[in-house]
Amino acid sequence: MNFSAFRRLLRISRVLVRYRLDEVTPAARLFRPLSWLRTLLGEAPGAAAMGRGERLRRALEELGPIFVKFGQILSTRRDLLPPDVADELERLQDRVAPFPGAQARELVEAELGAPIAQHYASFDETPLASASIAQVHAARLHDGREVVIKVLRPQIGERVEQDLGLLRAMAGIAERRLTHAERIRPKEVVAEIERTLRLELDLMREAANGSLLRRNWLGSREMYVPEMLWPLTRTRMITMERVYGIPLNDLDGLRAAGVDFEKLAECAVRLFYTQVFRDNFFHADLHPGNVLIAREHPEDPLFIALDFGIMGTLPPTDQRYLAENFMAMFTRDYRRIAELHLEAGWMPAHIRIDDLEGAVRGVCEPYFTRPLSEISLGEVLLKIFAVAQQYQLTIQPQLILLQKTLLNIEGLARTLFPKLDLWSVARPVLAGIMAQKYGLAAAARELRTRLPGWIQNAPEIPRLLHQHLKQSVAGEHQLRMHSPDIQKLIVVTRQGQRQTVLAILGSGLLIVAGILFAFDAGGPKVLGVPGAAGLAALGAVWAFLAAWPRRLGR
């Protein structure tokens, strides 16, 4: 861990103690040894009078965007949190302390390279919403259209980089210390988090995400996506159509508008499975602060999506295997779940499939004793992955966003309608998509798409076949292998060779020095030091260098 990361870790500890979280966290014993810092540095103003939820929220706000994002994720799981904590963390979704509106105006003018009045008839310096990465201001164009402008927070890049540096350092420690780090892959997991956060800092990319999502759902009666105004969008700002609706977390407002909560919850589940398995492009940050519900047609609710910084996609192979995993769970086909984990390459091929099948059955069967309305698909999937890790499951970083989003969606749906039967809603959606994407009609479409290319390359096949046979007869085939594991093996082998040479030289010098000392023959002096002592010192240095890389690798 470098000095910058260590300093950041100290700051995190200081903030936790200043907000007296050592008194309210279940893991209080981890923080109490640091409570002397509160005496030295003082506690946050008013912390003693705050409830535990407010203390936690304020501490996360002070620690920065990564911690605020963590609090936002937690806030969607009311089924796991005490109500007072969930209520406070919910404020992180769009009510983080704002930065001055005058700074937002200056940033917009700097990005557009012109006074704000040149492009907007009005600009409200009081933000509509303020979150961990950016805040939103209302504006009006000269043609009268209402828009909103999303602006990045000042110096947000530097704050994110500090937290990422700490995460990278902790991942490095975990990779060296954990017994099965090659399966958990902490550095790759942090790299996935880093990639996601960096994408959130590029608002041009976020606008492109919103534009694609809008195209996917244009004309839908289940979700609406506002239009992006590209001439007034830059890397640090987005201008988009202003939309109106009821915030998803305003349950009283939704009831007053007559919204059907059961249909709303069912719609949320359908939207998730359709985005993942039909479009392979899903909103991965769909907390209530990023969603409005249209006031029109409350009996047939319409979602309005906002904030497109975190969107998820899956490799086509993983998408298909995951869809089949869900279908196998619906039918309790544990053998197929085990086969899919092996076929996907998520775990080594030498694992006995009957052992894995039995382990999956042991996880799933207790769930199926409950009513279907009480079963969480996300929890079952996570339990299966947890059991599979005992059979050397390799963590798939590309599935992290999906797992988080699935749990968020289910938590949201259960908040809206606790008795919702997730299985009966998800199963027909997924079955229809599977038939459409992987059935006979899909295979015929794929054949028609590829056939022209095959016909174009057909004349080359006889020549290539003749060349292959000719090389086989002449013994001219070469095996070419490219693999990160092979490269690591080469590096380790070369390192081992160097260590061996150094160890032999070091041991030899130590033996010579020992013989000279044994016969009281210190040898000629160099700068007043007996030669035997010099040989011993040089041998010790080389022996130490031979062992040093091995210690680093542990």
Closest Cα to residue 152, out of 194, 98, 231?
A: 98
Instruction: Please report the sign of the dihedral spanned by the C-alpha atoms of residue 93, residue 94, residue 97, residue 100.
Output: positive
Using the structure block, give the residue that is written with the tokens 């910084």. 309
8 Å CB contact between 74 and 89: yes
CA distance 399 to 403: 6
CA distance 434 to 540: 66
CA distance 283 to 5: 31
8 Å CB contact between 356 and 388: yes
CA distance 511 to 503: 12
Kindly provide the b/e burial profile for residues 485-503, where b requires at least 16 CB atoms within 10 angstroms of the residue's own CB. eeeeeeeeeeeeeebeebe
Residue type at 176?
R
CA distance 533 to 539: 10
247: β partners: 292
Element (H, E) at 239: strand 237-241
Q: Which of 94, 285, 307, 318 is catalytic?
A: 285
Q: Active site includes 285?
A: yes
Instruction: Please report the sign of the dihedral spanned by the C-alpha atoms of residue 205, residue 193, residue 226, residue 140.
Output: negative
Side by side, which strands form the sheet with 303-305?
Answer: 223-224, 303-305, 291-293, 246-247
Torsional class of 172: left (φ above 0), alpha (ψ -120 to 50), beta (otherwise):
alpha
CA distance 319 to 518: 72
Closest Cα to residue 405, out of 378, 374, 430?
A: 378
Residues noted as catalytic: 285
